[in-house]
Structure 1
Amino acid sequence: MTGGSPESIVGGPSAKAFNTNFASIYDAVDAEPVRPGSLYAAEAEARETTEQLIRDAGFDPIHLGDLTQAPLLESLIALTSTLDRGELGPFFYRFNRPGELPAS
């Protein structure tokens, strides 16, 4: 979905999700004391389903906006890949407002 307006191949509502999460550690999601996040962009008609799929996978959905925001997700791949190749390795991420993250 880079370089243009993302559109559904089959004509239904579309979303962009999971490309900033590491598949190699999906099996560790349930062991996290606080659910990790998953950034996504979605058309209004796809938002509820996308959020449910993200929750079903063990993540908290973090909505960026409609599909015009999908390029932001693509641009994050360079950052997440650089962090992965560095000392951090594959990682989970969370975004929260002050006071919203439960104490461990």
Structure 2
Amino acid sequence: MSSGKIRIYLNAYDHKLLDQSAQKVAETAKKTGAKIAGPLPLPTKTKRYTVLRSVHVNKDSREQFEMRIHRRMVELLSSNQKTIAALTALSLPSGVGIEIRQA
């Protein structure tokens, strides 16, 4: 068993796809005998953009767009080499970002 904690951060624009991926990561870690905490929801980042509808005239006419980036975290409290190998071999759907950090 390794002594350090490992944190796995997942982010995506689609929250349903993100929840499925986080559940998949958690199940894979549990099957290999690791103790986990999570998946924990993290605050959603919101990016807003305002764009003029027409250039040079009608400055009061604008459109507003918003992108939401949903995030989850899974923490491995105790893991082994088998767990790390299983997580690196895990294939997640496109659109889901994954970052693994040693805590």
TM-score range (shorter-chain normalised) is: 0.3 to 0.5
Structure with the higher helix share, 1 or 2: 1
Rg larger in 1 or in 2? 2
Structure with the higher strand share, 1 or 2: 2
Normalised by the size of structure 1, how large is the TM-score? 0.33
Normalised by the size of structure 2, how large is the TM-score? 0.33
Higher RCO structure (Cα 8 Å, ≥6 apart): 2
